[in-house]
């Protein structure tokens, strides 16, 4: 069975978390490291936004600072995610890998099988829903807040009809980077206090819609699930979903050095984070 690296990093700053993902991508593209599954958490709790979002227009930056939260723009698309009571994963693998379909949505589906198996390992009745039909799109779509879990992807992971994971993908240098947020718990009021809305009424309507369409692991689990239990369950999930053996590993010295450089020159800068 093919072996991939399996890395669980210590809690990191928002800039370093994004920089590490990019550093792995770059060094994988150069053949210096193998395909990698990484799990990570954030210090401090952080609001991340998608590559194409308009930070000043969509985000209440004053509230982000007042709450002592981190802030970073991801290299991937999608909408705002509050990284707080959750586990973030990333999968980095060559576009040429025999298991990876050339189409973005099909590759997304293959990688997301790891998530599906992880939820099932926790005893949750999770399923992957294809949003090919207009009916399915309508069921999981929303009027369009800036919050990620409001926004359906082509293949949605749902438990009891509600979205349980938000993922995004980018392709650079012949490498796929897919990362996403696995919610253990979530403070919906906090998340929506960080987003801009034209009026309080619109904000309340969006929050109601969000609560109807998104759910956390501990809302649907019959018992509390800890962060470590989630790491174990999803580690086994990605191994079985991707049909690989995950070998516990550490970041290389070159990955850490490159990540520190990328964090300093890009992900910690206003030029990157606020540029749109």
Tell me which residues are annotated as active site: 148
Q: Quick check: 9 and 249 in contact, CB under 8 A? A: no
Read off the DSSP letter of residue 102.
S
Residue found by looking up tokens 């009027």 in the block = 143
Pairing between β-strand 245-248 and β-strand 3-8 as defined by DSSP bridges: parallel
Nearest CA among 173, 165, 192, 159 for reference residue 59: 192
Residue 169 phi, psi (nearest 5): -135, 145
Q: Quick check: 81 and 47 in contact, CB under 8 A? A: yes
Q: In what order do the strands lie in the sheet with 126-130?
A: 126-130, 155-159, 162-163
Read off the DSSP letter of residue 13.
-
The structure tokens listed for 266 are: 């890009």
As a residue count, the chain comes to: 276
Beta bridge partners of 245: 3
> How is 116-170 classified by DSSP, letter by letter?
HHHHHHTT--EEEEE--SHHHHHHH--S--SBGGGS--SEEEEETTEE-EEEEEE
Rounded CA-CA distance 240/46 in Å is 30
Beta bridge partners of 40: 88
């Amino acid at each position: 069975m093919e072996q991939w690296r399996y890395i669980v990093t210590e809690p990191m700053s928002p800039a370093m978390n994004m920089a590490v993902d990019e550093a792995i991508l770059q060094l994988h593209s150069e053949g210096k490291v193998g395909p990698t599954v990484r799990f990570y958490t954030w210090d401090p709790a952080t609001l991340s936004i998608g590559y194409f979002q308009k930070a000043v227009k969509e985000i209440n930056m004053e509230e982000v600072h007042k709450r002592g939260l981190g802030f970073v723009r991801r290299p991937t698309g999608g909408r705002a995610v509050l990284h707080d009571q959750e586990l973030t994963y990333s999968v980095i693998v060559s576009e040429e890998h025999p298991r990876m379909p050339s189409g973005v949505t099909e590759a997304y589906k293959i990688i997301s099988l790891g998530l599906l198996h992880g939820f099932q390992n926790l005893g949750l009745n999770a399923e992957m829903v294809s949003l090919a039909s207009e009916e399915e799109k309508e069921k999981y779509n929303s009027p369009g807040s800036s919050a990620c879990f409001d926004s359906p992807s082509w293949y949605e992971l749902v438990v009891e009809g509600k979205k349980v994971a938000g993922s995004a993908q980018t392709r650079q240098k012949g490498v796929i980077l897919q990362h996403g947020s696995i919610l253990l718990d979530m403070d919906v009021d906090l998340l929506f206090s960080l987003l801009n809305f034209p009026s309080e009424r619109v904000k309340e309507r969006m929050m109601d819609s969000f609560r109807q369409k998104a759910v956390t692991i501990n809302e649907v689990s019959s018992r509390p699930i800890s962060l470590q239990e989630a790491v174990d369950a999803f580690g086994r999930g990605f191994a079985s979903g991707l049909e690989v053996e995950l070998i516990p590993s550490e970041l290389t010295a070159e990955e850490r050095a490159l990540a520190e450089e990328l964090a300093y020159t890009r992900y910690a800068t206003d030029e990157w984070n606020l540029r749109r």
